[in-house]
Amino acid sequence: MPTHDIIDNRNEKLVDHINRILASTESARFAVGYFFLSGLESIAERLTGVKELRLLIGNTTRA
């Protein structure tokens, strides 16, 4: 894991980092400016073990 909190998708993909965390948690909270269904689909398999999911989404949604 990097020594900083910034994941820029060059050396480590954010989706991989999120999936690792979701594998060992019962609740997840995300704050995003834009909501894409493709992003949700990329973590959907790991969400099966999550009992609580909260999303804070900006005012723009896209499919």
**Nearest alpha-carbon partner for 36 in 8, 54, 60, 1:** 60
Percent of the chain at pLDDT above 70?
87
pLDDT in tens, 22-59: 999 999 999 988 888 999 999 999 999 999 999 999 88
- pTM of whole model > 0.85? no
- The pLDDT score that the predictor gives to residue 46 is 94
- Report the alpha-carbon distance of residue 17 to residue 23 in Å, rounded: 10
pLDDT in tens, 13-24: 999 999 999 999
- The pLDDT score that the predictor gives to residue 55 is 94
